[in-house]
Structure 1
Amino acid sequence: MRKSHSKRVFTTLTTLASLLPNIHGAALPGNAPAVWAELERNRANTSALHATPAPAWVAPPEMRGTSGILYSCVLTLFACIYTALHLNIPARRSAGASDAASRLLRDKCVWAFLALVAPEAVLYCAWSQFAEARALARDLRALEAEAAGAGAEAGNSATSGRGDDKAVADADCAFDLKYGFFVVMGGLEMWYPDADGLGGESARTLSAGGVRNLARTALEPLRVPGALIADRSKANTLQKLLVLLQVSWMAAQCATRAAYGLPLTLLELHTLVHVACAVGMYVLWFKKPLDLRTAEAIDRAAYGGLDGVDPAQYFSMNRTKLVADFDARWLQRVDAQELCLYIVQRGVLGALMVVLPIIYSGAHLAPAWDLAGDFGFPSATEALLWKIACIATAASVPALVVSLYLLELVFLAEVPTCLAVFNWVHLNYQGRVFVVVFLVCRVYIVVEAFASLRAVPIGAYLTPSWIEMIPHV
């Protein structure tokens, strides 16, 4: 009897439980389209929104909006451009100058614009600085080993008595890659008499070659504690890892879409190229201090005052640049033979000056001939302008050299007055004309990458749900 009563109670409870979904709303399948459809049906029904039970697990929607594409691309571009820049120390104009922070911000904005329109140029700068810093650190370590060997052969007892302390001090002031970057970015300065002969002095930035020259005389005054460099640097390993995580997520998203056969937008392709450049900059600049504002002064008296020497052998003329040996006068008048000689003498770096613009522009040029139309140019005119801009910037350096030689021939041939404009350009503004044309083409590429979002294939908004589960901002 008791067993039969218990069975009736269990049956009743089971029946009531089966009626609950009908009372409070039908159970929904655990997929995003079903949940979204139910939400749309009951958007204005507050009772249903509170009473309808949701599934135990709801997958994220396999769809994104235009704002989502813009948000992820703009945020990734910011990470690739502004946070990846490691600028040199701003040169102070006088002993009491305190506007280093504002000048650093101004320089960073200028270089951020350059990184937006020509990231391969900044990547070239990073490669150039890395090569120079590594070579400087290698040379200084060789001089240090040579000096240590000479001291050991001389049997200097005064030094051997404090050998352990000196070894610890030398280890803290090591001539490593970080020190090399510190010098290359303008970390060492020396107060030197002005050329006007009035008895004034100004802070001069020591160049890498100048540090080598001083090191052949004495190494000790050039030592800078690694802790001091680290304290002045704003670099944060966790911050760099988070930025790399964000750019890696963008790369993974684009790779996943390609694997699923889903179309990419032109803006995503543009961002992906910036991601590749940013990763390269982070790798090359990983040991470079970030946002240093002050340099370390070296006592000129330790080297006999450097009276009567050529300042060009010791001091850098322009610290705001990122390329150590770039001459600002190239922006006015570029000599074809000098440019070719620069490219040839730089070896790998010279080849990169030609190859990097080709790679960057070639990656952007491919969508213009995309037969499937996945990248969706809004009009044929915009696609044609895109091709012209990409081809012009890809052939920028070779075209510059050829044009310089042609202008040189026109100038030497003493052409008639009708071609005098070419002589005027050749003598004054050929470098500036090249820069203006290059920047106009690159600015069009950036603007068109954003403008193309107004006409994309519908598949651009479909996205695998699992990719959104990867941590990103």
Structure 2
Amino acid sequence: MSSGNQSSTETRVAWVGGDHGRGTLDLLWSCISTLIICTWTVQHLDVIWPCYRGRQEVTLRRLKHTAFALLMPEYMNGVSIEQYCRAHTSTKKFRELKGFEEWTMTHGFFAAMNGFRAKCPNGELIALRIEELYWLIQQDLVKGMPVIRIKDEEDSANPSSAPEDGLISQEKKPDMPILSQENIRRSDKSDALTKVIACVQCGWFVFQIIARAVMDMEVSPLEIMTIAFTCLCFVTYLAWWKKPYDIDLSWTLEIEKNWQDWDVDMPQNRREELVRHKEGTGDLYLHAQTQFHSYITFALGACFGALHCIAWNLEYPSRAEQIGWQVCSLIITIWPLYMLFTTEPFIQKMMKVSKYFKILEHADSSQPLYFLHIALALSYGLARLFLIVEAFISLRSLPSGVYDTPQWTEYIPHI
């Protein structure tokens, strides 16, 4: 990958046709299509509650998450990894309960994505977390829990699957509904082939840029930025591979106690969340509760920023734009590291509630730390916006070598 000093005398071009190799449109299409995969199709949103039923509202909700993913893709990474861990852990825990021996990862993801909601005696509807659902089942406070099965058909002749007293009965009765893995998957609007195609396209893009670097060919800032998104996209797809996509299925459970009376370990900010979001919208901010999630987000955010530093010595239309890229790359790398190591003690507070996600609501505005966090958060957002804008406007003047095409790539099928 040539540096700016090496290509300072190279011819610069603004628009290149694609008649004899890759042109500007080819470069744009390759990067934009990959960015769409990384920010739009990678989204496995949580269960959509009735307030989002209209297609316009659903589309706006997805657009909002796409814009958020462009500014802070590591946040979605944190959500995906946390949901995977919750689903994986729940599989073992629930299978220890009588009547839940057929609980699967699919059921775990369904619960993690707000598939179950509780209707309390006072009429309040809230989205349940896996830990809360598990506790309610243990305490026999749930009415209307469906029979958990892997397949739709149930072998009623197998007496070994009958539950013992003391827990919610999962013994099949004629009028009891079944929530099977097959039923959840039938609501899934995606499939493995779609995800494989998306990963192949992203893989092809990464392979192409690596090949250009090995052959000492020029690349553009837009391609480097796309590489950063692609690397995080792989992590998200891997964590959400078994998560249902855009499902319409949800389950309302009758609970015998109001949530205010639950004797379950519920962090204070979770209680505040229940007051604000009684209908359980299932948006990304509902996951910003655990220290585990914040550590993942900040660690991956630092990696995301470091990937932008690969474009440190690329050729830019002006020296000011190159300095701007370098400064902003450092900001989006250093800010997550600062948050990772200073929000709370890194080791002692692991897996506990993060104070960062409550700082703007609870912090004393007279404290210098409050303004420091505000300034850092604003600088991070502005730096991300600059990098996105600069990646595209830099196409107005790039070294001509950016459009050189290795001949062998023309014979490899790709989108």
Whether these two folds match at TM > 0.5 is yes
Q: How does 1:225-244 map to 2 (within 5 A)?
A: 225-244=180-199
Which residue pairs with 1:138 in the alignment? 92
1:75 aligns with 2:33: yes
For the 8 Å contact 2:120–2:254, the answer to whether it is kept is no
Structure exhibiting the larger radius of gyration computed from Cα positions? 1
Q: What is the alpha-carbon distance in structure 1 between the residues aligned to residue 382 and residue 263 of structure 2?
A: 35
Matched to 1:248, the amino acid is G
Q: What is the alpha-carbon distance in structure 2 between the residues aligned to residue 126 and residue 205 of structure 1?
A: 18
1:297 aligns with 2:241: no
Which residue pairs with 1:91 in the alignment? 49
Q: What is the alpha-carbon distance in structure 2 between the residues aligned to residue 432 and residue 105 of structure 1?
A: 31
For the 8 Å contact 2:120–2:259, the answer to whether it is kept is no
Matched to 1:106, the amino acid is L
Matched to 1:459, the amino acid is G
Return closer, same or farther for 1:82/1:311 CA change in 2, 3 Å cut-off: farther
Q: What is the alpha-carbon distance in structure 2 between the residues aligned to residue 203 and residue 352 of structure 1?
A: 30
Q: How far off its partner does 1:309 sit?
A: 5.4
1:115 aligns with 2:69: yes
Which stretch of structure 1 is more off in the superposition, 67-76 or 249-258?
A: 249-258
Which residue pairs with 1:105 in the alignment? 59
For the 8 Å contact 1:364–1:390, the answer to whether it is kept is yes
Instruction: For residue 82 of structure 1, give the secondary structure of its aligned residue in structure 2.
Output: helix
Return closer, same or farther for 1:469/1:202 CA change in 2, 3 Å cut-off: farther
Instruction: For residue 251 of structure 1, give the secondary structure of its aligned residue in structure 2.
Output: helix
Higher helix share: 1
Matched to 2:311, the amino acid is P
Q: What is the alpha-carbon distance in structure 1 between the residues aligned to residue 129 and residue 219 of structure 2?
A: 46
Which residue pairs with 1:19 in the alignment? none
Q: What is the alpha-carbon distance in structure 1 between the residues aligned to residue 52 and residue 319 of structure 2?
A: 53
Return closer, same or farther for 1:237/1:401 CA change in 2, 3 Å cut-off: closer
Return closer, same or farther for 1:255/1:352 CA change in 2, 3 Å cut-off: same
Which residue pairs with 1:128 in the alignment? 82
Which residue pairs with 1:175 in the alignment? 103
- The counterpart of 1:185, out of the listed 113, 116, 135, is 113
Q: What is the alpha-carbon distance in structure 2 between the residues aligned to residue 138 and residue 367 of structure 1?
A: 45
Q: How far off its partner does 1:289 sit?
A: 0.7
Q: What is the alpha-carbon distance in structure 1 between the residues aligned to residue 251 and residue 180 of structure 2?
A: 11
Q: What is the alpha-carbon distance in structure 2 between the residues aligned to residue 386 and residue 232 of structure 1?
A: 44
For the 8 Å contact 2:302–2:337, the answer to whether it is kept is no
For the 8 Å contact 1:100–1:293, the answer to whether it is kept is no
For the 8 Å contact 2:295–2:340, the answer to whether it is kept is no
Q: How far off its partner does 1:469 sit?
A: 2.6
Return closer, same or farther for 1:458/1:353 CA change in 2, 3 Å cut-off: same
Which residue pairs with 2:387 in the alignment? 445
- The counterpart of 1:326, out of the listed 288, 300, 314, is 288
- The counterpart of 1:461, out of the listed 403, 407, 413, is 403
Percent of pairs identical after alignment? 21
Aligned length: 335
Q: How far off its partner does 1:355 sit?
A: 2.3
Which residue pairs with 1:44 in the alignment? none
Unaligned runs of 5+ in 2: 1-17, 149-178, 345-363
Q: How does 1:27-426 map to 2 (within 5 A)?
A: 63-92=21-50, 99=53, 101-141=55-95, 143-144=96-97, 147=98, 174-194=102-122, 201-217=123-139, 221=145, 223=148, 224-300=179-255, 305-306=256-257, 310=261, 313=264, 317=274, 318=277, 319-322=281-284, 325-327=287-289, 343=291, 346=292, 351-368=295-312, 370=313, 375-400=314-339, 423=366
For the 8 Å contact 2:118–2:127, the answer to whether it is kept is yes
Return closer, same or farther for 1:102/1:432 CA change in 2, 3 Å cut-off: farther
Q: Deviations over 1:179-224 (max 9, x none)?
A: 1111011001122244xxxxxx242211111111023245992532
Q: How far off its partner does 1:133 sit?
A: 1.5
For the 8 Å contact 1:187–1:296, the answer to whether it is kept is yes
- Superposition RMSD on alpha carbons, in Å? 3.1
Matched to 2:412, the amino acid is I
Return closer, same or farther for 1:245/1:110 CA change in 2, 3 Å cut-off: same
Return closer, same or farther for 1:251/1:136 CA change in 2, 3 Å cut-off: same
For the 8 Å contact 2:298–2:340, the answer to whether it is kept is no
Q: Which has the higher contact order (CA 8 A, sep 6+)?
A: 2
Q: How far off its partner does 1:310 sit?
A: 2.6
For the 8 Å contact 2:78–2:294, the answer to whether it is kept is no
Return closer, same or farther for 1:181/1:404 CA change in 2, 3 Å cut-off: closer
Matched to 2:218, the amino acid is P
Instruction: For residue 232 of structure 2, give the secondary structure of its aligned residue in structure 1.
Output: helix
For the 8 Å contact 1:89–1:104, the answer to whether it is kept is no
Which residue pairs with 1:53 in the alignment? none
Q: How far off its partner does 1:395 sit?
A: 1.6
Q: How far off its partner does 1:324 sit?
A: 5.7
